[in-house]
A and B are shown apart, each in its own frame.
Chain A
Amino acid sequence: QQQVKQSPQSLIVQKGGISIINCAYENTAFDYFPWYQQFPGKGPALLIAIRPDVSEKKEGRFTISFNKSAKQFSLHIMDSQPGDSATYFCAARTGQGAQKLVFGQGTRLTINP
């Protein structure tokens, strides 16, 4: 019940296309859903995050769509660029105030020029 399932494992998108990564969870106690971007040899960096009372959040080219009833959320990267090539992780946090995060398995995104 503490798992967050992420798909696909890898994704190749042409420059200018839309990249879509999906996550699903079971634990309804999760109250915060961040997405992290990780480049090789670096630590994860927060990209965008959403709370379950909101169905969509957009920041620049990045959008989170959240479906509370289906317990699913997804990251959309519009106008994907080669610089977006990285590994993306979805995560979830329980409503206990601390940053104890449950991470998905990661999606390796490659944007072809």
Chain B
Amino acid sequence: NAGVMQNPRHLVRRRGQEARLRCSPMKGHSHVYWYRQLPEEGLKFMVYLQKENIIDESGMPKERFSAEFPKEGPSILRIQQVVRGDSAAYFCASSPIQGEYAFFGQGTRLTVV
């Protein structure tokens, strides 16, 4: 049973481009969480999704950021018109049911140049 798979592991984007980060949850997991980790800081919650539903997006910036978890395929975190301040590690976690421990992926390290 593969763990939470995130790709790409590293992503370099120029200012103004779009970044698309993918997360495939563990088999049987229908809950996905995205966290952002700035250098030398802890992880900050961004969004919680279930299949086809956004449950809690209280940690998402109001502009340029969006997330989805379609019925088929991975969860996608999309950042439009990236700026240098978006450079960070983005982690996805998944869990099978509400309240169960969530497993983290290895993260996508986004660098905006």
| Interface residues in chain A, defined as those with a beta carbon under 8 Å from any beta carbon in chain B | 6, 34, 36, 41-46, 49, 89, 97-106
Contact = CB atoms under 8 A, between A and B. Distances in A.
A82 B22 CA distance: 34
Contacts of B91: 43-44
Given A43-B105, A45-B104, A98 B43 contact: no
Give the most central of A45, A97, A100: most B CB within 10 Å.
A100
Nearest to A108: B40
Nearest to B58: A100
B101 A99 contact: yes
B44 interface: yes
Contact of A43 (B31, B48, B55, B106): B106
Given A43-B91, A43-B105, A44-B104, A98 B98 contact: yes
Contact of A101 (B4, B31, B41, B43): B43
